[in-house]
Amino acid sequence: MVEKIKEEKIVITGAGGMLGSDLSRVFPRAISLTHKQLDITDRDKVFLKISELKPDIVINAAAYTNVEGAEDEKEKADLLNSTAVLYLAEACRDTGAILVHYSTDYVFDGGKKTGYDESDIPNPLNAYGRSKLGGEQNILRTMDKYYVLRTSWLFGKKGKNFVDTITRLAKERSEIKVVDDQSGCPTFSYDLAMMTKNIIERKCPFGIYHVTNSGSCSWFEFAQEIVSVQKIECRVMPCSSKEYPSKVVRPKYSILNNNKIEKMPEWNDALRRYLSLKM
């Protein structure tokens, strides 16, 4: 892949994760930093590294992503998803760098069946969503040169994701139950990385963007497609989220409407491309 952005220095934080690894592929000339190379929760190290490297753009893919874990580890989730983002925002502001940061559909309460626009007021229901909203707010309060990219239901080659979990369960069992009362937009991490590149290259206006694959579905419909595409002999049955009690309150409709950039490929097309990499 030929990278168009050659004159700008790009730093990727959280490069060892699912999204970070795809960003490193899409931006092969970027300085990719894993958690071991830069712990963004250490303010002094963040300021030192950013001042040393003097990047034009910092893409932050580091995050606490365990939604259930965040209920028990609120301080840990807040530190990585909110406080550490403040450190990055301050460091980028001081050096004049653009900050690209990823947020989530879980900043919304899920009461809007038609989906959420970029301008809708967030109202998170759980600790994870509150920690991610804190990160957004820290950026907006601190600097002007930013892209906050909200995404949802991420799946990709590296790291735990719903597609791989359903595939494993379907191969182990003759029948699985999946909740059908929560809807969202599945998103392929590689497509998200490519759209990030597109936004940066086109120098889109700074602000908040909703970046997901097109279309929406329930977890049940998503699971059905995962099993069908792979032709796994397993019956997928719908059920209510009440059948799987959880400490986490999840939004019922966390669909993100994209009103500011061109549409990304349909989620089922993205799913097929992802699965083709694993077959």
Please list the active-site residues: 128
Distance CA 159, CA 221 (A): 22
Q: Give the pairing type, strands 187-188 and 57-60.
A: unpaired
Query: Which structure tokens are listed for 98?
Result: 């653009």
Instruction: Write the Ramachandran bin of 223: left for phi over 0, alpha for psi from -120 to 50, otherwise beta.
Output: alpha
**Rounded distance, CA 50 to CA 220, Å?**
43
The Cα–Cα gap between 255 and 117 comes to: 9
Q: How far is CA 162 from the centre of its chain?
A: 13
CA angle 5, 89, 264 (to 5 degrees): 50
